[in-house]
């Protein structure tokens, strides 16, 4: 029994020791640091990898930011995780580069594993300069300064003309409709009350001048008009068109109905004067000068009697008159606004027609309506930039945005591709730049220096257009030479394309391809065929294409 108890104690201690060893082994982390190559060209991407084999329940924090100096981190890739029995392998990759030649050391990186800090190994990297073979590479003189024509729209270029034109138009409108004009003599008289207007007209009526010129008929016509006009304004609103008999009957009826308190003598005096005037106008009667002067005096006195006989206006009449004056003023104001509005529209139409004659209808219309394609073409912020490593240099209206990594074509050798795009929903234009290179493992397997099949790759790009909804694709291929002398293949043509609107419309496309054994550089542009501004954008982009080819190792 004693031996048995000692054996059990010994076995229990062994179990504890083995358990502690196993726990220490499981909780320990194994780190491995690798690079895809220890020698790169200036600006070329270096793939730096950290592999951590840890317990599946342990958290790992990898370094972030520019902790690799003197190397520069250009991209931090997503973390890959492989899980096994009680273990996990976590792989973190970084894209590094350097733009100066020399020997550099990637410093040790700090990785947090659980509550422990572990440092990776430091690695030495050689950055080789770009060798230029002057026997093969053509040398050119320094280009002179080129004055670029400012491609602003004529509205922006001659904005001061617009301002001056609008100021002049506003001044004309103000002068015609809003300026306080000096009233003419007729307007001043028309603004007077009826009584004062009648008395002023009688004072100006000189009977002697009429008789000297043998114009008795005109004198009596003017005299009776003054009387009838006053009666028309204050007593009976049809006095001007009524005959003498009708007018006297109406005045008598108003007197009998107590509408006006005109006495019978006043009516008889008015009747006698009007009848004598009728004889002068229609029967060629020629009264003496004294009779004419008496008739003028009678009319002057009877206008005073009629005024005195008129009743005082009631409050309701005053309110109605006030409402009438207000409505009349509103009508005049509306009429003035309509006239001003029509004048302004007329000025705008005249300006539009004038500018259309000088600059063309479509240019003026698109500028006024703010055509997004025209605005994109005329932007002053065109950007010349290099995309990818090795890069392709293009000038675009806006900076292209970098997209996620992808495989170019599963049917060909796998290529590591960087994609940069511009796609605006307001403009039927799409710009894509792809810079691809073979992985190092594929380079080792394939020692051939033959370039990639650009026709086959262009066919693949056309198949991607079909997946986006393009139909009736009609492609053509031809040789393309960039402005800096690089040769490639240009695939271009037309197709029914579905832009952001989703509707099929007539479109055009260009696919430029340049390749070596390990590198593929592409420029893909798709635009709406009947958009002249997009066509000019495409031409400007194609004229700016330059390539940076990698040197042979």
pLDDT at residue 77 is higher than 60: yes
Reduce the DSSP state of residue 93 to 3 states and report it.
strand
Determine the average pLDDT of the residues in 201-205: 85
How many H-runs (helices) and E-runs (strands) does the chain carry?
Answer: 16, 22
Rank 24-28, 36-40, 481-485, 544-548 by mean pLDDT and report only the highest: 36-40
Residue 134: inside a domain, yes or no?
no
Determine the average pLDDT of the residues in 258-264: 82
pLDDT band at 306 (very low <50, low <70, confident <90, very high): confident
pLDDT at residue 405 is higher than 50: yes
Residue 140: inside a domain, yes or no?
no
Provide the pLDDT for residue 14: 44
Determine the average pLDDT of the residues in 336-353: 74
Of 396, 414, 413, nearest to 405 (Cα)? 414
Which residue did the predictor score with more confidence, 512 or 322? 512
Query: Which residues, including other chains, have CB under 8 Å from residue 207's CB and lie 6 or more apart?
Result: 219, 289, 292, 293, 296
Determine the average pLDDT of the residues in 494-502: 79
Within 10 Å of residue 381's Cβ, how many Cβ atoms?
7
- Do 65 and 95 lie in one domain? The reply is yes
pLDDT at residue 4 is higher than 50: no
DSSP state of 213: T
Determine the average pLDDT of the residues in 222-231: 87
Provide the pLDDT for residue 482: 80
- Is 157 in contact with 150 (CB distance < 8 Å)? yes
Rank 53-67, 268-282, 493-507 by mean pLDDT and report only the highest: 268-282
Number of domains composing the chain: 4
Residue 53's domain is classified under what CATH number? Answer: 2.60.40.10
Provide the pLDDT for residue 289: 84
Per the structure, the complete domain to which residue 444 belongs is given by 381-547
Whole-structure pTM value: 0.44
- Do 173 and 224 lie in one domain? The reply is no
- Do 104 and 253 lie in one domain? The reply is no
Residue 513: inside a domain, yes or no?
yes
- Do 400 and 543 lie in one domain? The reply is yes
Residue 18: inside a domain, yes or no?
no
d(CA 526, CA 468): 12
What would the two tokens of residue 139 be? 């040398």
Residue 437: inside a domain, yes or no?
yes
Handedness of CA 279, 282, 285, 289 (dihedral sign): positive
Residue 12: inside a domain, yes or no?
no
CA distances from 399 to 394, 514, 539 (A): 10, 22, 17
What would the two tokens of residue 350 be? 């005249």
Pairing of strands 123-128, 39-41: parallel
- Is 495 in contact with 470 (CB distance < 8 Å)? yes
- Do 92 and 226 lie in one domain? The reply is no
- Listing DSSP states for 262-314 in one string gives --HHHHHHHHHHHHHHHHHHHS-----HHHHHHHHHHHHHHHHHHHHHSPPPP
- Do 467 and 519 lie in one domain? The reply is yes
Share of the chain above pLDDT 70, in %: 74
Q: Given 259, 277, 309, which residue is the final one in a domain? A: 309
- Do 197 and 289 lie in one domain? The reply is yes
pLDDT at residue 431 is higher than 70: yes
d(CA 488, CA 491): 10
Bond prior to 253 in cis (omega within 30° of 0) = no
Handedness of CA 348, 353, 356, 358 (dihedral sign): negative
User: Which residue's structure tokens are 């509103």?
Assistant: 330
24-33, 328-337, 475-484, 520-529: lowest mean pLDDT where?
24-33
- Do 109 and 214 lie in one domain? The reply is no
d(CA 233, CA 319): 18
Residue 428's domain is classified under what CATH number? Answer: 3.40.1000.10
Bond prior to 372 in cis (omega within 30° of 0) = no
Of 419, 393, 396, 394, nearest to 406 (Cα)? 419
Within 10 Å of residue 270's Cβ, how many Cβ atoms?
25
Residue 402: inside a domain, yes or no?
yes
- Do 240 and 302 lie in one domain? The reply is yes
d(CA 255, CA 270): 14
Rank 1-10, 130-139, 439-448 by mean pLDDT and report only the highest: 130-139
What would the two tokens of residue 504 be? 């099929």
Q: Given 286, 309, 332, which residue is the final one in a domain? A: 309
- Do 100 and 121 lie in one domain? The reply is yes
d(CA 187, CA 480): 81
The distance from CA 216 to its chain's CA centroid, rounded to whole angstroms, is 76
- Do 115 and 157 lie in one domain? The reply is no
- Do 198 and 114 lie in one domain? The reply is no
Residue 426: inside a domain, yes or no?
yes
């Amino acid at each position: 029994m004693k031996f048995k108890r000692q054996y059990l104690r010994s076995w229990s201690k062994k179990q504890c020791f083995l358990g502690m060893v196993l726990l220490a082994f499981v909780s320990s982390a194994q780190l491995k640091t690798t690079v895809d190559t220890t020698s790169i060209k200036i600006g070329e991407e270096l793939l730096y990898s950290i592999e951590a084999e840890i317990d599946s329940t342990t958290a790992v924090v990898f370094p972030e930011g520019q902790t690799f100096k003197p190397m520069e981190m250009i991209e931090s890739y997503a973390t890959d995780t492989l899980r096994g029995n009680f273990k996990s392998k976590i792989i973190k990759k970084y894209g590094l580069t350097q733009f100066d030649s020399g020997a550099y050391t990637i410093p040790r990186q700090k990785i947090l594993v659980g509550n422990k800090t572990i440092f990776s190994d430091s690695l030495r990297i050689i950055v080789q300069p770009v060798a230029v073979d002057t026997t093969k590479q053509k040398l050119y003189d320094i280009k002179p300064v080129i004055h670029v024509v400012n491609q602003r729209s004529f509205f922006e270029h001659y904005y001061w003309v617009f301002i001056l034109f609008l100021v002049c138009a506003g001044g004309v409108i103000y002068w015609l409709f809003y300026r306080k004009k000096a009233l003419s003599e007729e307007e001043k008289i028309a603004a007077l009350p009826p009584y004062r207007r009648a008395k002023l007209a009688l004072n100006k009526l000189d009977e002697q001048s009429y008789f000297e010129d043998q114009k008795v008929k005109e004198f009596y016509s003017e005299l009776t008009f003054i009387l009838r006009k006053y009666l028309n304004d204050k007593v009976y609103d049809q006095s001007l068109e009524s005959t003498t008999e009708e007018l006297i009957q109406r005045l008598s009826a108003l007197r009998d109905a107590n509408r006006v308190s005109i006495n019978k003598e006043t009516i008889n005096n008015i009747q006698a004067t009007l009848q004598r005037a009728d004889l002068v106008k229609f029967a060629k009667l020629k009264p003496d000068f004294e009779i004419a002067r008496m008739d003028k005096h009678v009319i002057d006195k009877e206008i005073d009697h009629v005024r005195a006989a008129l009743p005082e206006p009631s409050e309701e009449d005053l309110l109605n008159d006030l409402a009438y004056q207000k409505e009349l003023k509103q009508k005049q104001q509306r009429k003035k606004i309509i006239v001003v509005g029509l004048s302004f529209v007329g000025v705008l139409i005249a300006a539009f027609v004038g500018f259309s004659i000088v600059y063309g209808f479509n240019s003026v219309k698109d500028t006024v309506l703010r055509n997004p394609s025209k605005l994109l073409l005329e932007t002053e912020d065109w950007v010349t930039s290099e995309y990818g490593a090795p890069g392709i240099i293009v000038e675009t209206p806006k900076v292209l945005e970098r997209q996620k990594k992808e495989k170019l074509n599963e049917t060909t050798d796998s290529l590591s591709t960087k994609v940069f795009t511009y796609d605006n929903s307001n403009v039927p234009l799409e710009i894509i730049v792809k810079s691809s290179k073979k992985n190092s493992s594929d380079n080792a397997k394939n020692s051939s220096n033959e370039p990639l099949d650009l026709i086959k790759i262009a066919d693949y790009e056309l198949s991607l257009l079909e997946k986006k909804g393009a139909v009736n694709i009609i492609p053509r291929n031809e040789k393309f030479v960039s402005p800096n002398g690089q040769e490639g293949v240009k695939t271009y043509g037309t197709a029914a394309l579905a832009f952001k609107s989703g509707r099929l419309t007539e479109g055009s496309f260009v696919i430029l391809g340049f390749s070596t054994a390990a590198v593929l550089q592409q420029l893909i542009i798709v635009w709406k065929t009947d958009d002249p501004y997009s066509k000019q954008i495409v031409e400007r982009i194609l004229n700016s294409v330059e390539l940076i080819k990698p040197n042979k190792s």
